[in-house]
Chain A
């Protein structure tokens, strides 16, 4: 009698589609996956230990390196955490500039995430090339404002490093003209594409009932049908002044997450338009003059969280009154969104594993810290 036994294959850590050094040990019966076990730690550099040796301000450039795809969102979360701990106010114009940068990062991240996921499905980089082209335009804006394209280090406690130059807003307006055309074209290329439907419908399902208990947040949670967006659930900064919708999936499979990300790009564009209308003049200043940068917060702890494009990004800081944080913990969305990966991939084919991982959209800098 022919007996077949399972084959153990390592996908990663050095593999074309694991978004960085991430390894999945899968046991396969023929093509279907019986068990999947994620292995982390290849990019672990003990970011939190490093943060305890630096002063609060010196940690700011290191937060760029967490989720290096959207450094502005990391800066924002860390700045909010320290401002909550030390009780620093932020002037109006700085708040608007901050939200503008974070929403631009969201567009940039989703354009890339969708591109990478379709790339894992096998389309030879064309959707990714379109995404990267839009990303380049946004990175030029970041470079004009903060001085660097990816490692922006643009936020300070109480505001931002420098005010936006005059030619920033006209260029942003031009970009927003191109944005809907790009998203519509991406939909025309992919939305009803039978092959994409075949590869993503009903794959990697995370049902609504179980999604919350896994602690996933961001597009993964919204893809499963739960309209939980921190910008709406617990509005921080000035998000309560903008009208925008929260896209939500119905089944909770790869296709829903793909659609949610595309819809979120449109919503971010809506927010950006409202920001351009409501942007206060420069009289309020781009930084709170009294906010001393070598901050010495009182004893105590604080947790601030932000809706980063990947999910809930939170910083938990404990201060002992000194210039350096006593304890600095990062709640990384990519790391926690990987919790259901093992259960989501059981029963699917090897080809689907890669697509499911792509739909969760992880960045190893944030997972391994």
Chain B
């Protein structure tokens, strides 16, 4: 964005303003765009979710306000902002006010590292991935503040559950993303997306075929297992069914949001939906190649850039648009899957959630890192790295090595999944039987 602004100001208008002014303006524009995009995304997502889940239940969903209900989110927004903001009298006023702010603010930061299109990224941090997850854990503090401040039993229970859940699911989420860092060699999200160009066969260009941008990580067994684990962990982070325990309506009314109404409730709602959107976007970026897709690479080649001064600037814009379109399309499909999950599955209990997280996801993701390392070793190493036995398969990056790596990692991952699932099921059945036996001892002995 810097060079675009610089080109406009200095060459077109000839203002030759100093460097820091251009930098400031470009950043302000980007921030402005993001602050417009985020709430719009939330509005659209609430509408999208209500329509999709209605369709799944043979209903129609909101179609009265505006054409086919498109103005419904605005109506909701107005209602939420105009509703009276009740603060319980025995609540801790300041903390009650701060909680939604501490929950919503970090979520906006996460937009900084999201790559929308070819070199369309707010801040290309070399440690983008780490920044993304570090910031998101601050909002958990906000949840606890909300639960504690509203001085309500249900809220307290909800907050405890929320913190336990989000913290314990950060570990599998991050572990499952390590493989991408290993594949792309850097934590910058831009690098990860660029590493997913080319064809899905060996992620390097086959001479005859142009770069179709389909080298997504998800087409490798390592990537696929990581995708499944990450998506489940993301569901837990975003408090979506089957993990929406913190605000489980049927048990503890609305969890930590019980004592909130009006504007503050809207902020919580906003934070939750933005977090869900970002988690879907990150899933798309890391596993499904973000803005990578057929045609983007070709457009980038034609576009004006440092090494191609003769390029036509129109292609820049076209590449950016196509890239953003691909990213949004992928994100909304993931959000559709989230909504379908919400429609189909009941909710897990808090202790089952913990068992599932610690005993199933974390071991699975660790094994996945092992298979990722094997994948790298087989496809890229040779005798130089002391891995001589792979030499018979030819030089790194060719098809044969890819096939061997695919087979090896597939076997490891499937075996791990099957073994851990069986272990967990036995553990669950044993625990249920013990509970039942325990109950029998308690019940009155009288036999009919």
Chain B residues contacting A251 (CB-CB under 8 Å) are 436
Given contacts A346-B442, A347-B438, are A124 and B349 in contact (CB under 8 A)?
A: no
- B447 beta carbon closer than 8 Å to chain A: yes
- A147 beta carbon closer than 8 Å to chain B: no
**Contact assessment for B241 and A124 in the assembled complex, using a CB-CB cutoff below 8 Å:** yes
Chain B residues contacting A16 (CB-CB under 8 Å) are 249-250, 253
- B242 beta carbon closer than 8 Å to chain A: yes
From A9, A123, A344, contact of B345 by CB (8 A): A123
> Which residues of A in the span 183-236 have a Cβ within 8 Å of any Cβ on B?
189, 193, 195-196, 198-199, 201-203, 205, 207, 209-213
Nearest CB in chain B: distance from A360 CB, A: 15
**Contact assessment for A122 and B428 in the assembled complex, using a CB-CB cutoff below 8 Å:** no
- A90 beta carbon closer than 8 Å to chain B: no
Chain B residues contacting A213 (CB-CB under 8 Å) are 444, 446-448
**Contact assessment for A122 and B436 in the assembled complex, using a CB-CB cutoff below 8 Å:** no
Nearest CB in chain A: distance from B431 CB, A: 8
Question: Whose C-beta in chain B lies nearest to the C-beta of A212?
Answer: B448
Chain B binder among A69-77, A113-121, A148-156, A266-274: A113-121
Q: How large is the interface on A (under 10, 10 to 19, 20 to 34, 35 or more residues)?
A: 35 or more
- B346 beta carbon closer than 8 Å to chain A: yes
**Contact assessment for A343 and B57 in the assembled complex, using a CB-CB cutoff below 8 Å:** no
Chain A residues contacting B432 (CB-CB under 8 Å) are 201-203
**Contact assessment for A121 and B442 in the assembled complex, using a CB-CB cutoff below 8 Å:** no
- A109 beta carbon closer than 8 Å to chain B: no
**Contact assessment for A15 and B253 in the assembled complex, using a CB-CB cutoff below 8 Å:** yes
Given contacts A121-B346, A133-B58, A351-B350, are A343 and B250 in contact (CB under 8 A)?
A: no
Nearest CB in chain B: distance from A210 CB, A: 5
Question: Whose C-beta in chain A lies nearest to the C-beta of B250?
Answer: A17
Supply 9 A–B pairs (Cβ within 8 Å), ascending by A.
A16-B250, A17-B250, A195-B347, A210-B446, A213-B448, A343-B444, A347-B439, A349-B350, A354-B250
Counted as pairs of residues, one from A and one from B, with CB atoms less than 8 Å apart, the total is 121
- A92 beta carbon closer than 8 Å to chain B: no
**Contact assessment for A207 and B443 in the assembled complex, using a CB-CB cutoff below 8 Å:** yes
**Contact assessment for B349 and A352 in the assembled complex, using a CB-CB cutoff below 8 Å:** yes
> Which residues of A in the span 10-44 have a Cβ within 8 Å of any Cβ on B?
15-17, 31
> Which residues of A in the span 322-358 have a Cβ within 8 Å of any Cβ on B?
343-344, 346-352, 354
Question: Whose C-beta in chain A lies nearest to the C-beta of B244?
Answer: A122
From A122, A123, A198, contact of B352 by CB (8 A): A198
- A103 beta carbon closer than 8 Å to chain B: no
- Alpha-carbon distance between A317 and B204 when the two chains are bound, in angstroms: 87
> Which residues of B in the span 116-154 have a Cβ within 8 Å of any Cβ on A?
153-154
**Contact assessment for A125 and B57 in the assembled complex, using a CB-CB cutoff below 8 Å:** yes
> Which residues of B in the span 57-103 have a Cβ within 8 Å of any Cβ on A?
57-59
Chain A residues contacting B157 (CB-CB under 8 Å) are 31, 350
- B435 beta carbon closer than 8 Å to chain A: yes
* A positions within 8 Å CB-CB of B: 7, 9, 15-17, 31, 118-126, 129-130, 133, 189, 193, 195-196, 198-199, 201-203, 205, 207, 209-213, 251, 253, 343-344, 346-352, 354
**Contact assessment for A122 and B248 in the assembled complex, using a CB-CB cutoff below 8 Å:** yes
- Alpha-carbon distance between A227 and B342 when the two chains are bound, in angstroms: 37
- B15 beta carbon closer than 8 Å to chain A: no
Chain A residues contacting B53 (CB-CB under 8 Å) are 124, 126
Nearest CB in chain A: distance from B240 CB, A: 11
- B348 beta carbon closer than 8 Å to chain A: yes
Nearest CB in chain A: distance from B164 CB, A: 11
- Alpha-carbon distance between A126 and B54 when the two chains are bound, in angstroms: 9
From A126, A210, A349, contact of B351 by CB (8 A): A349
Question: Whose C-beta in chain B lies nearest to the C-beta of A201?
Answer: B432
**Contact assessment for B346 and A122 in the assembled complex, using a CB-CB cutoff below 8 Å:** yes
Chain A residues contacting B347 (CB-CB under 8 Å) are 121-123, 195, 199, 351
Query: Which of B56, B343, B433, B440 has the most CB atoms of chain A within a 10 A radius of its CB?
Result: B343
Chain B residues contacting A193 (CB-CB under 8 Å) are 345-346
- Alpha-carbon distance between A344 and B439 when the two chains are bound, in angstroms: 8
**Contact assessment for A199 and B346 in the assembled complex, using a CB-CB cutoff below 8 Å:** yes
Nearest CB in chain A: distance from B75 CB, A: 21
From A119, A121, A129, contact of B59 by CB (8 A): A129
Nearest CB in chain B: distance from A220 CB, A: 14
From B244, B344, B442, contact of A347 by CB (8 A): B442
Q: A124-B241, A213-B444 are in contact. List 15 more A-B contacts (CB 8 A).
A: A7-B153, A31-B350, A118-B346, A121-B250, A122-B346, A124-B342, A126-B56, A199-B347, A213-B446, A213-B448, A346-B439, A349-B350, A349-B351, A351-B347, A351-B350
- Alpha-carbon distance between A130 and B343 when the two chains are bound, in angstroms: 12
Chain A residues contacting B351 (CB-CB under 8 Å) are 31, 349
**Contact assessment for B250 and A122 in the assembled complex, using a CB-CB cutoff below 8 Å:** yes
- B251 beta carbon closer than 8 Å to chain A: yes
Chain A residues contacting B56 (CB-CB under 8 Å) are 126
**Contact assessment for A351 and B446 in the assembled complex, using a CB-CB cutoff below 8 Å:** no
Q: Lowest 4 CB-CB distances: which A-B pairs, in order?
A: A122-B347, A202-B432, A121-B346, A129-B57
Chain B residues contacting A7 (CB-CB under 8 Å) are 153
Query: Which of A124, A130, A189, A195 has the most CB atoms of chain B within a 10 A radius of its CB?
Result: A124
